[in-house]
Amino acid sequence: KQEVTQIPAALSVPEGENLVLNCSFTDSAIYNLQWFRQDPGKGLTSLLLIQSSQREQTSGRLNASLDKSSGRSTLYIAASQPGDSATYLCPLGARFGAGTRLTVKP
Amino acid sequence: NAGVTQTPKFQVLKTGQSMTLQCAQDMNHNSMYWYRQDPGMGLRLIYYSASEGTTDKGEVPNGYNVSRLNKREFSLRLESAAPSQTSVYFCAYGRSSGANVLTFGAGSRLTVL
């Protein structure tokens, strides 16, 4: 059974900080890897997709990397803003972990 | 949430009533999924369909049935709703090419009294 573990479960930081969210998998047979954000009471928005031939992907202040050998992915958020406050999710295939709930304080 | 339409968006049921949640994609992809999300928790897979005419159980299938009517539509049915099925339900499709890249609908909020 594939398991997804996200660390930390919750994170609260002041605005402007750089931060790292972690995702680890029990199954290292990873193909594509997506990072999503979910705002409270809303649906899921895809942020970044690391395809099987890639090691990382960048979009604006976000950078996601994937290490298949260790079964880990990290999401780096630079210069965090209050608008980044959300839950961040990194499913393995179709299976989700609990996510990391991020709060960025003004 | 372009590409995935879920109906209804909100529904209130009484215990024992039945209902069907509808999901339709406009991208002609093979894989479709139904999830539930309880307050403060992650998404749990109920059922999925790898292709038209096939369905498989996910993590929490009890109390639900699904139908993959055609390539575009994947419905979730509650035959006898229970308060424990109060949740937000999300439908998604997955692009092929090695493994799925998921696109989600906006969700259907179901309350069972």
Nearest CA in chain A to B2: A45
- Compute the C-alpha angle B57/B63/B66, nearest 5°: 50
pLDDT attached to residue A88: 97
Q: How far is CA B102 from CA A93, B1, B29, in A?
A: 9, 11, 11
Contacts of A43 in chain B (CB under 8 A): 1, 90, 104-107
Interval A18-33: pLDDT, tens = 999 999 988 766 778 8
User: Taking CB atoms and an 8 Å limit, are B103 and A46 in contact across chains?
Assistant: yes
Beta strands at A86-89 and A33-38: parallel, antiparallel or unpaired? antiparallel
pLDDT of A70 > 90? The answer is no
B-contacting residues of A 38-77, CB under 8 Å? Answer: 42-44, 46, 49, 52
Query: Is A34 in CB contact (< 8 Å) with chain B?
Result: yes
Distance from C-alpha of A89 to C-alpha of A75, rounded to nearest angstrom:
10
* In contact, A34 and B102? CB cutoff 8 Å: yes
Chain A closest CA to B99's CA: distance in Å?
Answer: 6
How much is the average pLDDT of A46-75?
92
pLDDT of B103 > 80? The answer is yes
User: Quick one: which of A90, A87, A91, A96 has its CA closest to A9?
Assistant: A87
Query: Is B96 in CB contact (< 8 Å) with chain A?
Result: no
Distance from C-alpha of B62 to C-alpha of B111, rounded to nearest angstrom:
17
Interval B64-100: pLDDT, tens = 999 998 999 999 999 999 999 999 999 999 986 545 7
How much is the average pLDDT of B89-113?
87
Chain B closest CA to A42's CA: distance in Å?
Answer: 7
Query: Is B63 in CB contact (< 8 Å) with chain A?
Result: no
User: Taking CB atoms and an 8 Å limit, are B42 and A97 in contact across chains?
Assistant: yes
pLDDT attached to residue A101: 96
Contacts of B41 in chain A (CB under 8 A): 98
User: Taking CB atoms and an 8 Å limit, are A34 and B102 in contact across chains?
Assistant: yes
pLDDT attached to residue A3: 84
Confidence of residue B2 (pLDDT cuts 50, 70, 90): low
User: Quick one: which of B26, B73, B102 has its CA closest to A91?
Assistant: B102
Distance from C-alpha of B53 to C-alpha of B70, rounded to nearest angstrom:
7
* In contact, B23 and A43? CB cutoff 8 Å: no
